[in-house]
Chain A
Amino acid sequence: MPDPSPEPAFIPYVALTRGQKARRFIRRNPTMIAGALLLALMALVAIGAPWLHTVNPVDMNPIDRLKSPGAGHWFGTDMYGRDSYSRVIYGSRISLFVGLVVAALTSVIGLAVGLVSGFVRRLDNVIMRAMDGIMALPDLLLAISFVALTEASVRNVIIALVIPQTPRMVRLVRSIVLVLREQPFVESALAMGARLPRLMVRHLLPNTLAPLIVQGTYVMASAVLIEAGLSFLGAGTPPEIPSWGNIMAEARSYVRVAFWLLLFPGLFLALTVLSINLLGDGLRDLLDPRIARRMR
């Protein structure tokens, strides 16, 4: 296979400085670095929203409705005269927050349930049936039903996104545990009298972390996208909280008269999801021993 890294075949281990190691790392993982940088930028925007915005995002100013981008309103104004730039900036907070929390929650729940399911055979069957039941329903429909049938709030959207994504995490962790369970070190630990919880935390957990993190990034990307889709269909975060999906939902009728209202939030959303995906891909390439071996 062609080797992508154009460097001499033999480098003495001692000779590499930290800087050279860093540069080699960057050269070898351009996508991951790009993704990480972009994501960091988005995070900065989200955190810095209170300082970066120009106008209060909820201020209505009907006199100035539907102005095209220009001085004072860099992304124009929407149908209520609200500043689109400020709304998009603030929108990053909701989208990133939802994405992060959903990824974290699914990881924690998936880890806990997956560990138990992989190890405790009696519960395994029941748990997997339940997971199958949840997986039998399409993600978006389940999420829409949950949010539409309770009340629109950020908390409910998060719950609605966690439910369909958790089974995949559970299956992932479980599959790893099933393999690890057979390993000699587990047997010997048990023989030495290690108790189950301690075994799970000290020995199994570290091995599940890498794939978990990678999957977690995909869950985050997925959550951000589905949240936007939910808001677009009218079953997402409450409309007075600016999230990218909400902003685009309101903008959909104005595609012909004010397409910038749809353009900017969509751009931000795509870039954010892209960055998360790139990061995930890079992490996976880095952490998966087989691929890492090949790329070296």
Chain B
Amino acid sequence: MSRRNRIAATGCLLAGLLLAWSGQAPAETTIRAVMTAEVKYLDPHWTTADITQQHGYMVFDTLFALDEKGQPQPQMVDTYRLSADKLTYTFTLRDGLKWHDGKPVRAVDCVASIKRWAVKDAAGQKVMARAASLEAANDKTFVLKLKEPYGLTIRALAKEYSYVPFMLPERLAVQDPSKPFEGDVIGSGPFMFAAKEWVPGAKTVYLKFKDYVPRKEPASYYAGGKVVNVDRVEFVVIPDQSTAVAALEKGEVDYLQRPQVDQWPLLRKDPNVGMYRGDIYQMQIHPNHLAPPFDNVKARQALMVMANQEEYLRAIAGDPQNWRTCYSYLGCGGWLETDAGAELLKKPDLERAKQLFAEAGYKGEKIVVMAPSDFATINAASLTTAALLRKIGVNVDLQTMDWGTLVSRRPIKDPPSKNPAGWHIFHTTSGYAALKDPWGHANISTACDKAWFGWACSPRATKDLEELGNLTPGTDAFKKGLAEYHTALMEDVPYVPLGEFFAYAAYRKDRLSNIIEAPYTLFWGMVKK
């Protein structure tokens, strides 16, 4: 062979080898998704972190679930009966429910799971506080006996946000929920957790559970039949927003759960990218009710009257099509929408705010506002509050930190004058699901010492909420009770609601279809080309 031919042949050989080494395209369908955070904690009864609840929806299943009308529907439960005196619930499980290790789901598993979930969850606590007993009758039936009727029992079992009442196998469910459960992640959900492929901080892998028996009805929000049409789902971690968006545009990933607001115009321009509204968030100012002057309701009302929702929302979410003002604590457009008592909130007035602050006894001391540098929307709100407070002459100490530090300092009750790590104000958001469920929504608790961070104290609002829970929705009594509760909130100001902004999810519409639009991403039903 001539020298040139030899070189050519070697070249071809090398090229061929390279191509062979290039790897084969996988024969199975995989969806690559960039979620809001990395999956770090695997026990959804132990932490309220949203991403863990998201993980829960992949590998676990629930007894009941909400449909698109917001009504609880049976999921793992086949039938249930409520006794005439409304004290005894009898639940019977569906046929064919299996755990990922092949064992059948039994009633004792569900009993233990409910008990574990109810230790920490507000809605669950309310149910179990009224429970006389919760026992398994046989392998497929269990019975809940209450001491007094409680209309929200089924709704509690259908709770769709932190903590979701997921069912665990008994050996995991009997463990103390103040520690994450020890043992393999075995659920009865439509996906299995691929423990061997899990790289915390980088990648989490879920595989289709072939023995899952979906319900016969079509999927409807969190309820209905969970039919999985793909082989694998990978949660990929891309810490940088621009990189994540670029990765979606180039097809390196298929789905972005929460692209940041400013990336939306870029995404909207791309003909291959589709978007849907994933969630609606309410931004909130949380003052520390134990730290003067915010122990005086006038100071809190000052915050309310100082807040111009449009100004906040523009800083948080930019373009007006990304947000809407909302003068209801309980979400706009939901079943509990009301603006009873919201006069102060509707008419921002800086002079009035200054006056109220003075009346509350503010003497010029430093007001500590905690701002998280790594949480864009909350940071924007914090900066706006600091700027507004400064405008009304308040001496603001704006302390910036990462979210982790903020979360660590939040539990401190002492005012900054007593404890240098104390605080006066922080901001946070609640998702739509929480807003519509004040009984289970921790942020809005007005239970004083037992309330959420900020320790809002309003016995009046607490009582009104309790009574509201016993009324039937839609009745006049309900509407009256709702208005009373809301007015109590507006007058006692547990926190200041700053309106609502939208969250979109983005996906490759040339690859993914049949997506259920919900705050958590539901990967069943999704089809990938």
Contact = CB atoms under 8 A, between A and B. Distances in A.
Interface string B369-380: 001011010011
Interface string A47-87: 00000000000001011011000000000000111000000
B398 interface: yes
A270 B403 CA distance: 30
A162 to B, nearest CB: 22
A252 interface: yes
Interface residues of A, number: 23
| Majority secondary structure, B binding face | helix
Contacts of A211: none
A176 interface: no
Contacts of B374: 234
A238 B402 contact: no
Nearest to B387: A60
B71 interface: no
Given A253-B240, A256-B263, A257-B262, A152 B401 contact: yes
Nearest to A65: B318
B314 interface: yes
A97 interface: no
Contacts of A252: 240-242
Given A252-B242, A253-B240, A80 B315 contact: yes
A244 B61 CA distance: 48
B66 interface: no
A254 B242 contact: yes
A254 B314 CA distance: 17
A60 B376 contact: no
Contacts of B384: 60, 62
A239 B262 contact: no
Contacts of B402: 148, 234-235
A240 interface: yes
A62 B373 contact: no
Contacts of B132: none
Contact of A253 (B262, B379, B380, B405): B262
Interface in A23-69: 60, 62-63, 65-66
B398 A240 contact: yes
Given A60-B387, A240-B383, A252-B242, A257 B265 contact: yes
B246 A238 contact: no
Given A62-B315, A63-B314, A239-B373, A253 B400 contact: no
Contacts of A148: 402
A254 B262 contact: yes
Interface string B397-419: 01111100100000000000000
Interface string B313-356: 01100100000000000000000000000000000000000000
A290 to B, nearest CB: 47
B139 interface: no
B158 interface: no
Interface string A223-264: 000000000001100111000000000001111111000000
Contacts of A79: 262, 376, 380
Q: For B246, B265, B315, B399, which residue has the most chain A Cβ atoms within 10 angstroms?
A: B315
Nearest to B312: A62
A132 interface: no
A151 interface: yes
B129 interface: no
B400 A152 contact: yes
B262 A238 contact: no
A258 to B, nearest CB: 8
A257 B315 contact: no
B262 A60 contact: no
Contacts of A63: 314
B315 A60 contact: yes
B311 interface: yes
B272 interface: no
Nearest to A236: B373
A67 to B, nearest CB: 12
Nearest to B266: A256
A110 B371 CA distance: 37
* Interface pairs A-B: 10 shortest CB-CB: A253-B241, A62-B314, A62-B315, A255-B242, A239-B373, A238-B400, A239-B400, A256-B242, A234-B374, A256-B266
Given A62-B311, A258-B262, 18 more contacts: A60-B383, A80-B315, A80-B380, A80-B383, A81-B315, A148-B402, A152-B400, A152-B401, A235-B402, A238-B373, A239-B400, A240-B383, A252-B240, A253-B262, A253-B263, A256-B246, A256-B263, A256-B266
